[in-house]
Amino acid sequence: MKILIAADGSDYTKRMLAYLAAHDEWLGASHDYTVLNVVAAVPARAASVIDREVLKAYYAETNEAVFKPIRTFFKKQGIEAVFVGKVGHAAEVIAKLADSKDYDLLVMGSHGHSVLGSLVMGSVTTKVLASCKTPVLLIR
């Protein structure tokens, strides 16, 4: 199975990884894993005054800060994974990648906001569910 794991480095990512570790059917060497982290783009006006290389390094460092503990987790499990760092709106990037690469499953943690909280703040999870054709496993 080809599995995309959307990770943001939060406690919800840690819960998701713990869930995967506890359920052998989802975590094993027989699956192909891609771990995705999406960094919000620096606003265009601010980005225009920042050196391109500095901005590029910022995005790379931010992605790597999320990936480092996940790399360690996968190494301890003896599992290979591909790590992909992107820049943009998280929900759009996650859904687009999940659908464009023919993943069998998208796994992501959910913050579990209340209904009112989701209406007021918006929810990456809700937006991904609304726009993604790939089956999604939400871990809360």
Beta-bridge mates of residue 82: 34
Confidence of residue 122 (pLDDT cuts 50, 70, 90): very low
With a threshold of 0.85, does the pTM exceed it?
A: yes
In a 3-state reduction of DSSP, which class is residue 120? helix
Residue type, 128: V
Q: Tens digits of per-residue pLDDT, 22-47?
A: 887 777 778 899 999 999 999 999 98
CATH of domain 2-139: 3.40.50.620
Structure tokens at 124: 């990456």
Q: How many residues does the chain have?
A: 140
> Which one, of 109, 113, 107, lies nearest residue 136 by Cα?
107
Q: Which two tokens stand for residue 119?
A: 């209406």
pLDDT digits (tens, 9 = 90+) for 64-105: 999 999 999 999 988 899 999 999 999 999 999 999 988 999
Percent of the chain with pLDDT over 90: 59
